[in-house]
Amino acid sequence: GAGVSQSPSNKVTEKGKDVELRCDPISGHTALYWYRQSLGQGLEFLIYFQGNSAPDKSGLPSDRFSAERTGGSVSTLTIQRTQQEDSAVYLCASSLFRDSYEQYFGPGTRLTVT
């Protein structure tokens, strides 16, 4: 595809369940970022991947959050034992290189925890 894609677009889950969010970056982009956007906190950085490595995980809010990237491409963000405060839009972005200014965002996954 031409842009960053994310799935699912919407996810409703019960408190305590685990969820997986997927990001397909633009082909050939080496850097991948996850952000979270919520009404109270705005847009916050979660984790950065360079290739399959995550040199910066400083934004992950708790150990219930984890992410991986495989084949230098697809990334999955996993939230275990979801809580209501996890409700937000999770955005993925990719860029060609680590220091590229152009960062392309996907449409996001809206997560609602009931």
Partner 1 sequence: TQLLEQSPQFLSIQEGENLTVYCNSSSVFSSLQWYRQEPGEGPVLLVTVVTGGEVKKLKRLTFQFGDARKDSSLHITAAQPGDTGLYLCAGRTFDAGGTSYGKLTFGQGTILTVHP
Q: Which residues bind partner 1 (CB under 8 A)?
A: 4, 31, 33, 35, 42-45, 48, 56, 91, 93, 95, 98-108
Measured from the CB atom, the residue of 11 and 45 that comes closer to partner 1 is 45
Residue 70 CB, shortest distance to partner 1, in Å, is 20
**What angle is formed at CA 114 by the lines to CA 74 and CA 4, rounded to 5 degrees?**
20
Residue 78 CB, shortest distance to partner 1, in Å, is 21
β-pair type (109-113, 10-13)? parallel
Measured from the CB atom, the residue of 91 and 113 that comes closer to partner 1 is 91
* Structural tokens at position 70: 């495989």
Specify the DSSP element, H or E, that contains 32.
strand 31-38
Residue 5 CB, shortest distance to partner 1, in Å, is 11
Place of tokens 């019960």: 14
Measured from the CB atom, the residue of 13 and 103 that comes closer to partner 1 is 103
Amino acid (1-letter code) at residue 39: L
Measured from the CB atom, the residue of 9 and 80 that comes closer to partner 1 is 9
Residue 52 CB, shortest distance to partner 1, in Å, is 16
Sign of the CA dihedral with 62 first, then 63, 64, and 68 last: positive
